Amino acid sequence: MTALTPVFPLLDTIDSPQDLRRLPENVLGQLANELREFLIQSVARTGGHFSANLGTVELTIALHYVYDTPEDRLVWDVGHQSYPHKILTGRRALMGTMRRRHGLAGFPKRCESPYDTFGVGHSSTSISAAQGMAIAAEAAGSRRRAVAVIGDGAMTAGMVFEALNHAGHLKNDILVVLNDNEMSISPNVGALSSYLTRLLSGHVYSTVREGGKRILAHLPSSMWEMARRAEEHAKGLVTPGTLFEELGFNYFGPIDGHDLPTLVRTLENLRDQKGPRLLHVMTRKGKGYKLAENEPVTYHGVGSFDPASGIPPAKTGGGPTYTQVFGEWLCDMAAQDPRLVGITPAMREGSGLVEFAERYPTRYFDVGIAEQHAVTLAAGMACDGLKPVVAIYSTFLQRAYDQLIHDVAIQNLPVLFAIDRAGLVGPDGPTHAGSFDLCYLRCVPNLLIMAPADEDECRQMLYTGFLHDGPACVRYPRGKGPGVAPVATMTALPIGRAELRRQGRGTALLAFGAMLPLAEAVGERLDATVVNMRFVKPLDTAMVLELARTHERLVTIEDGAVMGGAGSAVAECLAGHGVHTALKLLGLPDRFLDHGERGELFAECGLDIDGVLAALAAQSDH
């Protein structure tokens, strides 16, 4: 029997928030049901971020219903929760293109829609951005409002508290909506909190509060301070907002983020108030889809699936991913060396630390979304005899660059950086691409930088970096390698030594990391020499100079930015030794690449067999 196509009579009438705001409030609940079902059906086809988006359906409706978007600025943090926003802002018909080449981005993107007021991908930026917009509105004499929506996980970042502290100091007209989807609300406390928040955000309370301030302003300072503390303690009895109040924010909440009437009424009350306000909203990840409610981590980011049965079981067989190679090595190394500790900035699953966390809980440290702290924490550990391994995505290590230099490299501390998602990552797009790590790491003194060409080499490089008496980096791509099974025995590689893979003539292809299979395929076509460079720093200068002496042309191939990357290191080597051999650098171009499948993006950059052959033919023609 063929399943019936879902019908969305209300949602189909919404092509913009203006359409939404024309609806009577009593039908918003039906709209939420339709929007949630549409979201389930849509993500099931395309894949993408799922459980967090299901949790923000009512909140998204209420925000667009109350605020005059896009004139009022609505800033979403990270973007994992912004799919309902995209659907309500004219992109419903395009949701089938989500995260595909030339389709919708998986995150808010300013060039995609005027409703996407700030482009995001990394967390914890929304409050700073919204505050900047509030300052701009004030400078222009505009009554335009600014709202930041941020998740509780993103609140672990220090940048958030920098923004809160500054906004509280300047008294900017900004509303921060804290979308808290980790804690649950018991029915009694939830109902009481909702009632009190509606009361505290209402006109009567605000009038009394501001009037009281004017009266108390004429009294001695001791009386003013007594009244302020009395108000804080009275509110503290029923709300957890003392921290935000101390930072200068008026705190309201927590309220049930799935109770549309309460959301609408509270936002209407808060909309026209002045100064910094924070509304604490409780939502449930995966709301409305039981499998995602029960397993929100599993359903955080998904591929396509059958909504009726859920995510299919993981396929067995085949080789491990690079992330799995790292996770297995970490456990094996921890069994050998009790000094090993593992650190991650809130990426336990993504970075492959689940088994390590279970087997070595006292040696596992998840610091939250706090990359800077993660690196300096590792530096402190290394100072006093521990051997820290920082598991971090390439794109997130960018956020801790100062700590990498100031706290680790300058002090030459033995910290191993396991850098996942190096190179292009595909559907997540430019915010998550690991395009720049070789460029920003290569210029830092004391760093050992390795790029494995296969799974076994990754394991051996991790071991090499762990033994190294100084900071070391092993950077590897997303997904699986060419299928070289990791050898259980760990062997340290000779530092700074490349590996000759194929002896040819005329052209020498110098491959860095994951580009070796491509270089080998091209080498067979051209009868070219192929070298697995292995080390980006220190570079095997002896190998480079020998290849330059015996070949007419050198070609470097890397999956990072070509400007300042590994190929540039080869060029510097040749120039430094006065060698003038023809040289071609192949890598990622000097532009940001949009989302799409990795194969599509590599082909666009000329990093496939046809692209490399064409580039070399063009060079020969000149």
Give 401-416 pLDDT, tens digit per residue: 999 999 999 999 999 9
DSSP one-letter code for 348:
H
Per-residue CA distances from 569 to 115, 251, 509, 543, 575 (Å): 43, 53, 15, 13, 10
Q: How far apart are CA 46 and CA 304, in angstroms?
A: 5
What are the start-end ranges of the E strands in 41-91?
48-49, 73-76
Order the strands of the 146-151 sheet from edge to edge.
Answer: 73-76, 146-151, 174-180, 276-282, 250-256
Calculate what percentage of the chain has a pLDDT beyond 90: 75
Q: Which helix (H) or strand (E) holds 251?
A: strand 250-256
Q: What is the DSSP letter of 434?
A: B
State yes or no: pLDDT of 226 exceeds 80: no
Residue 616 is predicted with a pLDDT of 94
pTM exceeds cut of 0.85: yes
Most confident stretch, 44-53, 315-324, 384-393: 384-393
- 3-state secondary structure (DSSP) of residue 179: strand
pLDDT at position 209: 58
Express each pLDDT in 130-186 by its tens digit: 999 999 999 999 999 999 999 988 888 889 999 999 999 999 899 999 999 864 333
Helix (H) or strand (E) holding 568: helix 566-576
Residue 622 three-state SS? coil
Does residue 204 surpass a pLDDT of 60? no
- Point out the residues that are catalytic: 285, 371, 399
The radius of gyration of the chain's CA atoms, rounded to the nearest angstrom, is 27
At 327-359, the pLDDT tens digits run: 999 999 999 999 999 999 999 999 999 999 999
The maximal CA–CA distance of the chain, rounded, in angstroms, is 91
pLDDT tens digits for range 439-457: 999 999 999 999 999 999 9
Decide if pLDDT at 506 tops 70.
yes
Greatest mean pLDDT among 194-198, 241-245, 498-502: 498-502
Q: Which long-range contacts (CB under 8 A, 24 or more apart) does 191-194 make?
A: 192/238, 193/238, 193/239, 193/253, 193/254, 193/255, 194/255, 194/256, 194/259, 194/262
Q: Chain-wide mean pLDDT for the chain?
A: 90
